[in-house]
């Protein structure tokens, strides 16, 4: 919270001190309503009661050109799921070193995915939401700096980004959130494009620490294991300054009104009970003037690290809690999305999307229907 207040004060002071600078203000919003399609279904925060809160949002982005190649950008965003509490999503300074080289510093969007920079701008893509099986790390921004280079390589447009920084906040552990600190984040993302075709790769590393009260407290599982003389097993489970990595590749084709996009990702946290997260999606659609129907398939396959407790006797009193913890992060889920986008206005699109998720690990299927409008202004 203190960091956000300091960022707000800094940006406000900068804008006030440069009241003669050019200021651009734009924004975007998503007004969406949806519900699960049976009494027992729950998906993306929806149940069988129709709700407008889960995925609705509104944002304003302010950019001020301070002159001499320096600018400041801030994005304020409120989500219905957070009772419309407004927060700084982005806040950074930019300096153009050359016509093709820019450095940004502050609160930045981490370039994990193809749609990282505008995953909240629903108008920028055809789906009602970005594929959750892939876009599911639980955090998007870091405090740090990036170097962004754009050029042409032969007939290809090239965008290359280097990023360094850290993260302190919530992150996902399975379906739950935990306090996370990720230090020494370094990474690179590179995209090449030509005439409706593009290809992208990204790779990031860091040192990850998660704190989960029922595991890390003085009465938690790790302390109990250590008291039993199983400190090595506790170390194999805990998440303290562990090496972590993220790798992703993707491609996009937009030719003759056919749209094809896919991304494959893998996220790992070494020497911990966190399962390796392997995910992908593929989506195909066709543009008929202002109407674009599409279908997509998502796959999430997280294998439990059962080797951690392989040497623990099943009769041991610690077998059940340890195996339960490790196995709780195993997930195999397939999702199918069928939807349509209708551009009824130059700055707004109506969307409807049906999603059916087959969670093979939990042996359940859930489905949800969402309709709404994405717009920019």
Phi-psi region of 354 (alpha: psi -120 to 50; beta: other; left: phi over 0): beta
Mean pLDDT of 152-177: 91
Residue 65, pLDDT above cutoff 70: yes
Between 19-28, 97-106, 129-138, 184-193, the lowest mean confidence (pLDDT) is in: 19-28
3-state SS assignment for residue 169: strand
**Rounded distance between C-alpha atoms, residue 149 and residue 40, angstroms:** 49
Backbone CA torsion sign across 83, 86, 87, 90 = positive
Summarize pLDDT for 126-163 with one digit per residue, the tens.
999 999 999 988 889 999 999 999 999 999 999 999 99
Q: What is the pLDDT of residue 20?
A: 57
All structural domains of the chain with their residue ranges: 94-376
Region 212-224: what's the mean pLDDT? 85
pLDDT higher than 90, residue 173: no
pLDDT of residue 184: 97
For the record, the structure tokens of 359 come out as 């969670």
With b for 16 or more beta-carbon neighbours within 10 A and e for fewer, the 97-122 pattern comes to: eeeeebebebbbbbbbbbbbbebbbb
The label of the residue with tokens 């969007």 reads: 109
> What would be the CATH architecture of the domain defined by 94-376?
Beta Barrel (2.40)
Using CA atoms, how far apart are residues 142 and 296, in angstroms rounded to an integer? 30
CB 116 within 8 A of CB 134: no
Tell me what the mean pLDDT of segment 67-89 comes to: 95
How high does pLDDT run on average in the chain?
92
Answer whether 72's CB lies under 8 Å from 64's CB: yes
Q: What is the pLDDT of residue 358?
A: 97
Residue 372, token pair as written in the block: 């709404």
pLDDT digits (tens, 9 = 90+) for 258-311: 999 999 999 999 999 999 999 999 999 999 999 999 999 999 999 999 999 998
Over residues 357-371, the mean pLDDT reads: 95
Q: Average pLDDT for residues 213-219, to the nearest whole number?
A: 82
Q: Where is pLDDT greater, at 262 or 19? A: 262
For residues 247 and 265, the answer to whether their CB atoms sit within 8 Å is yes
Of all residues in the chain, the percent with pLDDT exceeding 90 is 84
DSSP per-residue string spanning 43-74? BTTB-SS-BSSSS-EEEEEEEEEEETTEEEEE
Inter-residue contact 251 to 200 (CB < 8 Å): yes
Give the C-alpha separation, 203 to 213, whole Å.
31
Confidence of residue 177 (pLDDT cuts 50, 70, 90): confident
- 324-343 average pLDDT score: 96
Model confidence at 118: pLDDT above 50:
yes
Q: In 3D, which of 173, 123, 164 has the Cα closest to residue 330?
A: 173
Q: Give 198's Cβ-side CA count (13 Å radius).
A: 20
């Amino acid at each position: 919270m203190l960091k956000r207040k300091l960022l707000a004060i800094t940006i406000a002071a900068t804008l006030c001190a440069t009241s003669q600078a050019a200021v651009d203000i734009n924004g975007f919003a998503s007004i969406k309503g949806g519900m699960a399609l049976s009494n027992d279904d729950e998906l993306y925060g929806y149940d069988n009661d129709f709700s407008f809160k889960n995925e609705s949002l509104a944002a304003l982005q302010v950019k001020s050109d301070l002159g001499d190649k320096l600018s400041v950008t801030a994005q304020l965003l409120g989500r219905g799921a957070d009772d419309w509490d407004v927060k700084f999503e982005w806040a950074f300074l930019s300096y153009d070193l050359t016509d093709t080289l820019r450095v940004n510093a502050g609160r930045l969007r981490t370039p994990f995915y193809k749609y990282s920079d505008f995953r909240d701008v629903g108008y920028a893509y055809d789906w009602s939401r970005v594929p959750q099986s892939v876009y599911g790390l639980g955090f998007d921004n870091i405090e740090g700096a990036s170097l962004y280079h754009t050029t042409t390589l032969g007939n290809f447009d090239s965008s290359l980004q280097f990023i360094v920084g850290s993260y302190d906040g919530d992150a996902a552990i399975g379906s739950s959130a935990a306090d996370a600190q990720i230090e020494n984040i370094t990474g690179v993302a590179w995209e090449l494009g030509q005439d409706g075709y593009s290809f992208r790769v990204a790779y990031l590393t860091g040192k990850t620490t998660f704190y989960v009260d029922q595991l890390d407290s003085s009465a938690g599982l790790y302390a109990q294991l250590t008291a039993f003389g199983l400190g090595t097993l506790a170390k194999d489970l805990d998440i303290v300054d562990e090496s972590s990595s993220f790798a992703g590749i993707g491609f996009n084709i937009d030719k003759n009104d056919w749209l094809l996009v896919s991304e494959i990702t893998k996220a790992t946290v070494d020497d911990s009970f966190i399962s390796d997260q392997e995910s992908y999606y593929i989506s195909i659609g066709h543009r008929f003037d202002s109407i674009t129907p599409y279908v997509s398939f998502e796959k999430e396959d997280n294998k439990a690290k059962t080797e951690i407790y392989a040497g623990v006797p099943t009769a041991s009193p610690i077998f059940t809690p340890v195996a339960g913890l490790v196995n709780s992060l195993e997930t195999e889920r397939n999702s199918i999305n069928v939807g349509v986008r209708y551009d009824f206005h130059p700055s707004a699109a109506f969307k409807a999307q049906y999603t059916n998720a087959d969670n093979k690990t939990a042996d359940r299927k859930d489905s949800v229907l969402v309709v709404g409008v994405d717009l920019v202004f």
